[in-house]
Structure 1
């Protein structure tokens, strides 16, 4: 085991024993003859005492030597031991968030009981909602994105360096053929475009990379935009010299946080290459300067690039905060099967703060007034290749308004299954300055809730469940009011 873990466990045990015996560090120093500063460093996990010192501590504290040096913790400290032994602190690059592992160790050492209670609470919540290790890593990456406003200048610079080195014209759409040539000629790839179709179990995979032979296997059902994105990600892994990576797209499993983070880096690089920042920024400036919303122009911008609607909307979350200082926004991806009443929120990102709507794990019904769900319903009924709409959503409960852009497309790998991609922008003074068409009367405005169970909208024709959460809250408030009246009545 790592020496740091052994030192910390001994320090935690010593502090617990000392505390249980109502001894201060000063008192322990007096009865053992060991300096207070030395004992303090032991308890903080910075030093491990020599055997003769452990003998002194054992005798003066009346605790068997074997118990002192054992790595087994009692139930009060067991969760902390599990956390440290799992090495999860080693797996997550804490420096990305400006945190040093030593700082966390100090927190654990200084308040083990409180930290234990916190860790136990997190574990219980995670188990209750089936929150896996993978979910934890993905949530960490989202937090990393949000902390940086989802804009990474070093990756943007790397894209410019790549385009210069390989003479990629970023003012024109990039084809998959051009990127394929680079993969083959520069990086020694062998590419098979229909191998995956031979395996029914792999129907959801776009690509598989075999590192030993640098062989890239593609699904034959992917379109030009998807193929371009796959190639761009492979170029990113090579150009950025990333070796600790995932080998399937989408991923099946991952072994470390670095694999998840590097997957994000490669995806960001691919999006920045296919949808260049300067080109998109100029087009958005023209769109935002119009007094009315020009749907045709918006769709033309989307079609300018050899990219899927999802890649385009993802790229908006990079460009809007940086180029337009629009930092209060969210991104959502829903999936829906035709004929079903279920809508699944599969991906989300919130910049600046946790906006509504957001995912829930309590099987509540998402508000059917959301434009994200409406475009899914529309495309499942009319079978168009792409459905787009725009809406101003008014959340009356918290007084927030959002402008939403939403697109729906079919899932090429699942029959009668569709996905919607949405970006919502918080309507505030900043957005009003940037978007001239916000007052366009043709943009539909809709009062919305988060879920039916929590929605106070009366006589909603789209409601799928009663507002049981609100009803319970109202009942509890009524009970509280009556109890207060009774208390006042019988106090006087």
Structure 2
């Protein structure tokens, strides 16, 4: 057991015993002969008393010595003990969010009952929504991205250094062969292209890295862009000197938060390498300067890089806030199985917390008027490799409009599955200054909701469920109004 944990537990127990006996620190000091400042440091987990001092406290408080020094907590403090015994303080780099571990310990020590109630509440919510350690870590990374507007200048600088060190021509598409040569020649990688495809159970894995022999196993199912991205991630791990890492793509397990965070760093590096900042900024400037939306130029911009549409859209969330000061945006990835009638939001990022299209755990029906879902319906009924569309979505209930760009592609690893990637930009004065084509009459404008259960749009031709949540709210409001009337009526 760590010394800090032992000190804090003793302090929490002493404070609990003292308050249960209605003793102030001054009072405990008077009967024990120990100074008030010394007792305060003990209760705040700063000091652990010597055995003779514990004997004195035990006698004066009429509590058995063994109970005083036991690390077992009663039910009122048990959740705090679980939190402190867990690895959460150690696993999450709190400094990323400007938090010191000592600050959290002080909060726990100074208000244990209230902190315990808060922790118990969080645990109950997590259990109710099946919120796992994985969910918590991923949510932490997303919050870290949002806090930095998803742009990391130090990683961008490292990519620039890598490009200079290996003399990569960013004016041309970076091929997987270019990156493979660096992995083999510089980092002694062994790359095997046909091993994973031999195992049916590994159908969803694209790569496995074996660190002892520096062997990278790839599936035959990946395309050129996916192969380049995997190589770029491996280069990131090596060039950035990352040791605490994940070994499969996509990852199937992790041991620490650092592995999850470093996976994000490596992915960011890979996106910045395969889609260089200077090139994508030039493409976007050309598109934004025109008075009408140039669909051909946008699709050409996606194809200009050796990357998937998803990587391109992910890169937009890095570049738009930094290069164009467009920070009010969201990123969504949906999956859809043909003829299933269900759409699942698998990934989301909100650089401003006001955006409406969020995942929910209530099994509600996302608005079928979203372009994110429309492109999925379209591609599932045709033979296109890439379905693209653009839309201005008007959330009438909230008074907000978004310019939403969305692409759908077939999921190469799941039969009869498709996925869509969308970036939505809040239409405000800043966006109007940066993008000239917002008034393009050819862009479809659509009234949308969030889910059918919460939507006020009447006679919606694609509604999947009645507005049950709104109906319940209206019912409760009516009850409240009648109760107020009765209170007024019988108040005299």
Q: What is the TM-score with the length of structure 1 in the denominator?
A: 0.99
Cα distance between partner residues in 1 of 2:313 and 2:354 = 19
1:129 aligns with 2:134: no
Q: C-alpha displacement at 1:167, in angstroms? A: 0.7
Per-residue deviation, 1:362: 0.9
User: CA offsets per residue over residues 31-55 of structure 1, 9 Å max, x none?
Assistant: 1111111111101101000000111
Tell me how far apart the structure 1 counterparts of residues 55 and 448 of structure 2 sit (CA, whole Å). 68
CA distance in structure 2 between the aligned counterparts of 1:332 and 1:424, rounded to whole angstroms: 8
Q: Distance in 2 between matches of 1:230 and 1:354?
A: 34
Confirm whether residue 76 of structure 1 aligns to residue 73 of structure 2.
no
Task: Describe how 1:440-479 pairs up with structure 2 within 5 A.
Answer: 440-479=440-479
- In the other structure, the counterpart of 2:326 is 326
Separation in structure 1 between the aligned mates of residue 64 and residue 444 of structure 2, nearest angstrom: 75
User: Any gaps of 5 or more consecutive residues in structure 1?
Assistant: none
Equivalent residue for 2:165? 165
The 5 Å alignment of 1:55-134 reads 55-134=55-134
* 1:37 paired to 2:71: no
Q: CA deviation at 1:354?
A: 4.2
Per-residue Cα deviation, 1:337-363 (whole angstroms, up to 9, x for no partner): 111101010000000214110101111
- Residue of structure 1 equivalent to 2:288: 288
Q: Distance in 2 between matches of 1:445 and 1:151?
A: 30
Deviations 1:300-354 (A, max 9, x none): 1111100000000000000000001101100000000111101010000000214
Structure-2 separation of matches of 1:474 and 1:336: 33
SS at match of 1:333: strand
Match of 2:209, SS state, is strand
Distance 2:260 2:411 in 1: 24
- Inter-partner Cα distance in structure 2 for 1:131 and 1:469: 23
How many positions carry a matched residue from both structures? 492
Aligned partners of 1:46, 1:376: CA distance in 2, in Å? 58
Which secondary structure state, in structure 1, belongs to the residue aligned with residue 187 of structure 2?
A: coil
Query: How far apart, in 2, do the equivalents of 1:255 and 1:219 lie?
Result: 24
Partner of 1:345: 345
Residues 268-302 of structure 1 deviation map (CA, whole Å, 9 limit, x = unaligned):
00000000111111211111111111101111111
Q: Greater CA deviation, 348-357 or 461-470?
A: 348-357
1:261 corresponding residue in structure 2: 261
Residue 54 of structure 2 is matched in structure 1 by 54
State the match for 1:229 in structure 2. Answer: 229
Match of 2:248 in 1: 248
CA distance in 2, matches of 1:396, 1:109: 47
Structure 2 CA distance for aligned equivalents of residues 118 and 409 of structure 1: 43
Counterpart in the other structure of 2:149: 149
* Structure 2 Cα separation of the partners of residues 197 and 417 of structure 1: 19
- Give the C-alpha shift of residue 123 in structure 1: 0.5
Q: Which residue of 2 aligns with 1:418?
A: 418
Equivalent position of 2:16 in the other structure: 16
The 3-state SS of whatever aligns with 1:341 is coil
Q: Find the counterpart in structure 2 of residue 402 from structure 1.
A: 402
SS at match of 1:186: helix
Q: For residue 409 of structure 2, give the secondary structure of its aligned residue in structure 1.
A: strand
- Determine the structure 2 residue equivalent to 1:435: 435
CA distance in 2 between partners of 1:177 and 1:326 (Å): 35
Distance of 2:25 and 2:349 partners within structure 1: 47
Aligned residue number for residue 186 of structure 2:
186
SS at structure 1 position matched to 2:381: helix
> In 1, distance between residues paired with 2:114 and 2:278?
50
CA-based RMSD:
0.7
TM superposition shift of 1:87 = 2.0
Query: How far apart are the structure 2 equivalents of 1:377 and 1:293?
Result: 23
1:175 maps to 175
Distance in 1 separating the partners of 2:126 and 2:83: 14
Report the CA distance between 1:170 and its aligned residue.
1.4
Q: CA deviation at 1:383?
A: 2.4
Aligned equivalents of 1:169, 1:155: Cα separation in 2: 19
Name the counterpart of 1:392. Answer: 392
Q: Distance in 1 between matches of 2:194 and 2:68?
A: 62
TM-score normalised to structure 2 length: 0.99
Deviations 1:356-388 (Å, cap 9, x if unpaired)? Answer: 101011111111111000000000011210000
Structure 1 residue ranges (4+ consecutive) displaced by more than 3 angstroms after TM superposition: none
Partner of residue 202, structure 1: 202
SS in 2 for 1:381: coil
Q: Give CA deviations for 1:192-236 in whole Å, capped at 9, x if unaligned.
A: 111111000000011000111111110101000000000000000
Question: Which runs of no fewer than 5 residues in structure 2 stay unpaired?
Answer: none
